[in-house]
Chain A
Amino acid sequence: MSIPLLLFACLIGIIFNLGFSAVFLQPDWSLALLLAALLAHRGNWLWVSFATGAHDLVLHWSVFISLPWVLLTPIIITWSDAQIGPSLLQRMFAMLMVISSIFFAGWSFPSCILTLLLCLIFWHLIARFYVQPA
Chain B
Amino acid sequence: MPRRHILWRVVLGLLIFIAVLALQRMPIGQYITLGLSPLISTLHAPARWWHDNELWLQDRDKLQTELIETQNSLEQQTALIQQGKSLAEENTQLRKLLKITNIHGYTWRAAQVLGRSPDKKSRRLILQVQSKSDDVVVSSSGLVGLVDKSHAGSAVVRTILDASLAVPVTVPGSPLAALIRGQGDHLLVDFIPLDQTPTIGAVLQTSGAGGVFPPGISVARITHIEALQGRIFARVEATPTAHWQRDNWLAIASRMSPPADSLAP
List chain A positions with a Cβ less than 8 A from chain B: 11, 14-22, 26, 28, 53-54, 56-64, 67, 102, 105-108, 111
Judge whether A18 and B126 touch: CB under 8 Å: yes
Partner of A17, one of B23, B39, B118: B118
Sample of 19 A–B contacts (CB below 8 Å): A17-B118, A18-B116, A18-B117, A21-B116, A26-B118, A54-B32, A56-B29, A57-B28, A58-B32, A58-B36, A59-B119, A60-B29, A60-B122, A61-B124, A63-B24, A106-B119, A106-B185, A107-B120, A108-B120
User: Given the known A-B contacts A53-B20, A59-B119, A106-B119, are A14 and B29 also in contact in the complex, defined by CB atoms under 8 Å?
Assistant: no
Query: Total A-B residue pairs with C-beta atoms closer than 8 Å?
Result: 75
Interface size class of B (residues with CB under 8 A): 20 to 34
Given contacts A18-B126, A61-B124, 14 further A-B contacts (CB under 8 A): A15-B39, A15-B43, A18-B33, A18-B118, A19-B40, A21-B115, A57-B28, A58-B29, A59-B119, A60-B29, A61-B27, A102-B119, A106-B119, A106-B185
Which residues of chain B are near A53, meaning CB under 8 Å? Answer: 20, 23
- A22–B36 Cα distance when bound, in Å, is 17
| Main SS class of interface, B | mixed
Which of B29, B44, B122, B246 interacts with A106 by CB under 8 Å?
Answer: B122
Please list the residues of chain B having a beta carbon within 8 angstroms of any beta carbon in chain A.
20, 23-24, 27-30, 32-33, 36, 39-40, 43-44, 114-122, 124, 126, 184-185, 245-246
A100 to chain B, nearest CB (A): 14
Known: A18-B126, A58-B36, A61-B124. A107 touches B119 (CB 8 A): yes
Give the shortest distance, in Å, between A74 (CB) and chain B (any CB): 13
CA distance A64 to B20 in the complex (A): 9
Q: B23 to A21, Cβ gap below 8 A?
A: no
Say whether B43 contacts A19, CB under 8 Å.
Answer: yes
Which secondary structure characterizes the binding site on chain A? helix
The 7 closest A-B pairs by CB, nearest first: A106-B121, A106-B119, A61-B29, A57-B29, A18-B115, A21-B118, A19-B40
